[in-house]
């Protein structure tokens, strides 16, 4: 896949505020974008010189994604048409009156889990805690077995050779281990945050870069905001529209 074509004189700045970028496989999975994923993403971090996103760029990307993920526009405030029916109990009244958004409920859930981790309930079994309450390990594909601390019980029993994408070695898998099966079936749900898939593996293909204006490959980097564009025409459009919009 041609991520980026190298342009002649790629290391020198072509115009004030602009530079041609040699893309050496910069991988933004090495930086935390989503604050919720910070724990998991952080260990992948590490200085990558000038290819690393600035904190400002990270904020800009996170803001844009939050905007794209939004369910409701709080500014719109659409009222309930007609005459609403009366709440029948105190509980119902309280629940119907909540004006909270999903992020508030999810923040509550995370806070609660953090508390439980500090003072583990004596009733919870070690296995269910390990599955439900520790932040999940990063993806184990395509290489590298999980470290012992990261492994869930399910995986610990099946630390297979690391090279395979799926750790299946023969077409005749061993019969189901009933104890393991029961542990999986009785494990409590993950929290919403913990259910998210891991960032791409560190050794995977680099992130593709697109022109911020027209969507073609982004070969040139804007020095002001870090966005990519495909050429001069889009550079001008970018500066007139989105440059620093999310900063």
Q: Which of residues 173-202 bind other proteins (CB under 8 A)?
A: 173-177, 180-181, 184-185, 187-192, 194-201
132, 140, 183, 211: which one binds Zn ion (CB under 5 A): 211
**Separation between Cα atoms, residue 220 and residue 222, nearest integer Å:** 7
Residue 72 CB, nearest approach to other proteins (Å): 6
We find the least distance from the C-beta atom of residue 21 to other proteins, in angstroms, to be: 17
Q: Are 116 and 133 in contact (CB under 8 A)?
A: yes
- For position 48 contacting other proteins by CB under 8 A, the verdict is no
Residue 135 found at the interface with other proteins (CB under 8 A): no
60 binds Zn ion (CB under 5 A): no
For 132, the token pair is 């439900």
Does residue 215 belong to the site contacting other proteins (CB under 8 A)? yes
Q: Which is nearer to Zn ion, 183 or 234 (CB)?
A: 234
192 by DSSP, 3-state: which? coil
Smallest gap from Cβ 241 to Zn ion, in A, equals 10
Q: Which of residues 216-235 bind other proteins (CB under 8 A)?
A: 216-217, 230-233
How far is it, in rounded angstroms, from Cα 29 to Cα 201?
8
Applying CB under 8 A, among 12, 100, 118, 161 the residue interacting with other proteins is 100
Please tell me the distance from the alpha carbon of residue 217 to that of residue 209, in angstroms, as a whole number. 6
Q: Please say whether the beta carbons of 111 and 117 come within 8 A.
A: no
In this structure, are strands 220-222 and 18-20 parallel, antiparallel, or unpaired? antiparallel
Tokens of 153: 């019980």
Q: CA end-to-end span of the chain, whole Å?
A: 31
74 binds, among Zn ion, other proteins, none (CB under 5 to 8 A by kind): none
Pattern 4-43, other proteins, x by CB under 8 A: ------------------------xx--xxx--x---x--
What does the per-residue mask of binding to Zn ion show for 214-233, with x meaning CB under 5 A? x-x-----x-xx-x--x---
- Any contact of residue 213 with Zn ion (CB under 5 A)? yes
- What does 176 bind: other proteins, Zn ion, none (CB cut-off 5 to 8 Å by kind)? other proteins
Say if residues 227 and 169 touch (Cβ distance below 8 Å): no
- Is residue 124 at the binding interface for Zn ion, with CB under 5 A as the rule? no
| Nearer CB in complex with other proteins: 12/67 | 67
Cα 20 → chain centroid: 28
Judged by DSSP in three states, 179 sits in helix
Tell me which of Zn ion, other proteins, none is bound by residue 222, counting a contact when its beta carbon lies within the kind-specific cut-off of 5 to 8 angstroms: Zn ion
Q: Does 92 bind other proteins (CB under 8 A)?
A: yes
Instruction: Spell 210-233 as b/e; 16+ CB within 10 A means b.
Output: ebbbeeebbbbbbeebbbbbbeee
């Amino acid at each position: 896949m041609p991520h980026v074509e190298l342009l002649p004189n790629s290391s020198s700045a072509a115009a004030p505020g602009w530079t041609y970028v040699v893309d050496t496989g910069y991988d933004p999975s090495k930086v935390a974008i989503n604050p919720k994923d910070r724990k998991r993403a952080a260990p992948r971090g590490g200085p990558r010189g000038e290819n690393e996103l600035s904190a400002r760029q990270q904020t800009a990307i996170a803001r844009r994604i939050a905007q794209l993920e939004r369910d409701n526009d709080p500014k719109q405030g659409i009222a309930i048409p007609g005459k609403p029916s009366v709440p029948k109990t105190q509980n119902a009244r309280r629940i119907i009156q909540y004006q909270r958004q999903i992020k508030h409920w999810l923040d509550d859930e995370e806070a609660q889990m953090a508390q439980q981790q500090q003072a583990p309930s004596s009733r919870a079994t070690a296995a269910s805690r390990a599955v439900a309450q520790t932040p999940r390990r990063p993806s184990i594909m395509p290489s590298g077995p999980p470290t012992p601390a990261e492994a869930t019980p399910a995986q610990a029993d099946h630390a297979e050779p690391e090279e395979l994408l799926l750790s299946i070695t023969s077409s005749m898998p061993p019969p189901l281990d009933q104890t393991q099966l029961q542990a999986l079936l009785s494990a409590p749900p993950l929290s919403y945050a913990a259910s998210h898939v891991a960032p791409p593996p560190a050794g995977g293909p680099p992130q593709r870069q697109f022109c911020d204006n027209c969507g073609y490959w982004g070969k040139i980097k804007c020095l002001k905001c870090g966005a990519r564009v495909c050429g001069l025409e889009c550079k001008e459009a970018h500066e007139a529209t989105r440059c620093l919009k999310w900063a």
